[in-house]
Amino acid sequence: MQQEDTDLALITAILAGQTADYAVLVKRHQRFVFTLAMRFAKNREDAEEIAQDCFVKAYRALGTFKQTSKFSTWLYTITYTTAMTFLRKKRLDTQSINDDEHVLQIANSGTDFDANTVEKKSNYAYLNQAIAMLLPDDAAIITLFYKGEQSLEEIGEALRMEPNTVKVKLHRARHRLKEKLQYLLKDEVKELI
């Protein structure tokens, strides 16, 4: 709550002419916006471009921020639309990678890339790898729920979905994530043998 008050105070100051204060807002939210962008872009360069674009768009539209919702929710809406536009422009394949063939390709590409350090991989690396294998929407919902401190209603607002739809999608995303994790961990056991 304290942070939200500060966000609003900063926005008021920026709108009053203290534009340098925007750097504070950027610093505060950049890690999350970048993480969310990574869920869509899958590589750091593109994610950084999306995240920067998102902050510039947010700055341009700061005067229209109604202050009835959290600044973070509003910012994540911009991140989501920016990422979707970026994906459309890049014509990335956003189709489901649920089928085993794709899973196999991705899992193998990871192990081929760094086969000697498989044993050193932490749970965190596996989790990130599993999230990267999810659909962008599923990955974004999981990130918003666990790291964005967003309620189902706020996630719905950010992703333009009904809260009930978000709830169902969150359940399914976690179910898929569990499957991916099981698959990856099984792969690790094979490597160790």
Partner 1 sequence: MNTIEEQLWNYIDGNCTAVEKAEIDAKLVIDPQYQAIYEDLLAVNNELQQLDFEEPSLSFTRNVMEKVNQELRPVALKTKIDNRIIYTIAGFFIASILGIFAYAIVISDINFSFEMPKINFDTNKMINPVTIQLFVFIDVALALVYLDSYLRKGKIKAQKKGE
The 10 Å Cβ neighbour count of residue 118 is: 15
What angle do helix axes 163-192 and 123-132 make, rounded to 10 degrees? 130
Question: In the bound complex, what is the minimum distance in angstroms from residue 178's beta carbon to partner 1?
Answer: 5
SS3 of 122, please?
coil
Which DSSP symbol is given to 84?
A: H
Measured from the CB atom, the residue of 103 and 127 that comes closer to partner 1 is: 127
Candidates 178, 186, 190, 191; binder of partner 1 (CB under 8 A) is 178
Distance CA 182, CA 130 (A): 9
Candidates 17, 68, 91, 116; binder of partner 1 (CB under 8 A) is 17
CA distances from 88 to 41, 82, 92, 93, 122 (A): 11, 10, 7, 9, 33
Look up residue 12 and give its two tokens: 């008021």
Q: Which of residues 103-132 bind partner 1 (CB under 8 A)?
A: 123-124, 127, 131
From residue 25 to residue 64, what is the string marking binding to partner 1 with x (rule CB under 8 A)? -xx--xxx-xx--x-----x--xx--xx--xx--xxxxxx
If one asks whether residue 165 binds partner 1 (CB under 8 A), the answer comes out as yes
Candidates 88, 90, 160, 175; binder of partner 1 (CB under 8 A) is 175
Asked if 139 contacts 172 with a C-beta cutoff of 8 angstroms, the reply is no
Candidates 171, 185, 186, 190; binder of partner 1 (CB under 8 A) is 171
Angle at 31 between CA 117 and CA 107, to 5 degrees: 30
Sign of CA dihedral 182, 186, 187, 192: positive
Candidates 73, 77, 82, 143; binder of partner 1 (CB under 8 A) is 143
Query: Which of the stretches 2-10, 72-80, 81-89, 139-147 binds partner 1 when contact is defined by CB under 8 A?
Result: 139-147
The 10 Å Cβ neighbour count of residue 25 is: 20
Interface positions with partner 1 (CB under 8 A): 14-15, 17, 19-20, 22-23, 26-27, 30-32, 34-35, 38, 44, 47-48, 51-52, 55-56, 59-64, 123-124, 127, 131, 142-143, 146-147, 161-162, 164-165, 167-172, 174-175, 177-178, 181
